[in-house]
Amino acid sequence: MTDRATPRVVYLGGLGRSGTTLLERLLGELPGVVALGEVVHLWERGVLAGEPCGCGAAFPACPFWRRVGERAFGGWTRPLAERVLALRGRIDRTRRIPRIGHPDLAEYTRSYLRLYSAAGAPVVIDSSKHASLACCLVAGGADVHVVHVVRDPRAVAHSWSRTVHRPEDGRPMTRWSPARTAVHWSAQNAALELLARRGARVTRIRYEDLLADPGPALASLTGRLGLPEPGFLDGRTAWLTASHTASGNPMRFRVGQVELRRDDSWHSALPGRDRRLVNALTWPLRARYGYGSVAA
């Protein structure tokens, strides 16, 4: 466990199905940047369950993660993962954000900082999404820049209501009702807003703006993050190489040419009653982010 320079951390926050995996894949193509996936789930899904890395290898067999584990902890072990998960249960909770202090906070954040350092890049991306982990990292002294990704809650609600199978094991991914998604959307976005008010560096980007004009939108974001300009985009086409993302949605396995297009299927597929419910439950943040009450 040698001490290494701690890298800068770009932390992607937001509710699931808001485009964080796509954005992580794009940022991960930049020189000097390594995308790690949803590190918050690495302990359970990678270390304990041995689920596949984004490169296709099982987590325990992936050469990248073996190297990171050796450097950071002398190897991945069940007691290590169980310890981090126990700490997470006590410390890393959304309701704790207003008063994140905890005697074990330093030990918890140290696990993440060691892992980030062992990745061996100047900049790492963690797409864990939860505001509470970002808050722990900020409180623990990490050099973190949070990118808050927002998406129209009606599109997010539609996405969570669909049946999607996990490539990892073929089982269906968690489904939420539109009402439940709307409540989580408001809570997660409010928590990320709170983080910004507490002084964390937070840059907000809308999924719709990223996909309206991907090149300029991504260049504007990388400029704010102090990262190089993206050179792998040609209009709406991106070329993605394999990444070692430890967990995340199925998009993490895509390689090669990818067309960047907005998914607006909710316009015709989300029933009117669900739309009205989501509209009511996501006010006023929905308006703050420019998602009007008309069928926008």
Interface positions with Zn ion (CB under 5 A): 53, 55, 62, 64, 244
* 241 vs 293, beta carbon nearer Zn ion: 241
- Cα–Cα nearest to 2, from 100, 101, 72: 72
In angstroms, what is the minimal distance from the CB of 57 to Zn ion?
A: 5
- Cα–Cα nearest to 163, from 180, 154, 176, 175: 175
In angstroms, what is the minimal distance from the CB of 55 to Zn ion?
A: 3
Query: In the chain, how long is the greatest CA-to-CA distance?
Result: 57
* 241 vs 257, beta carbon nearer Zn ion: 241
In angstroms, what is the minimal distance from the CB of 36 to Zn ion?
A: 10
* 55 vs 270, beta carbon nearer Zn ion: 55
* 62 vs 144, beta carbon nearer Zn ion: 62
Tokens of 217: 């939108």
- Cα–Cα nearest to 116, from 78, 157, 159, 73: 73
- Cα–Cα nearest to 266, from 225, 296, 287: 296
- Cα–Cα nearest to 73, from 44, 114, 119: 114
In angstroms, what is the minimal distance from the CB of 61 to Zn ion?
A: 9
